[in-house]
Amino acid sequence: MPRYNKKITRLMDYDEFKEAIQELPIDRQAFLSILFFAGCRVSEALALTPDDITCKGDMIYIQFHRLKGSKQTDPTEVPRKDALTWLCEQ
What pLDDT is recorded for position 8?
A: 64
CB 83 within 8 Å of CB 30: yes
What pLDDT is recorded for position 13?
A: 87
What pLDDT is recorded for position 2?
A: 62
Domains of the chain by start residue, with CATH: 14-89 (1.10.443.10)
What pLDDT is recorded for position 25?
A: 92
At residue 6's C-alpha, the angle toward residues 28 and 29, to 5°, is 5
| Distance in angstroms (rounded) separating the CA atoms of residues 59 and 25 | 22
| Distance in angstroms (rounded) separating the CA atoms of residues 66 and 72 | 6
Question: Torsions phi, psi of 50, nearest 5?
Answer: -60, -30
Would you give per-residue pLDDT tens digits along the chain (90 residues)? Answer: 567 677 767 888 888 888 888 899 998 999 999 888 888 888 888 888 888 888 888 888 888 877 666 677 777 888 888 888 888 887
CB 60 within 8 Å of CB 88: yes
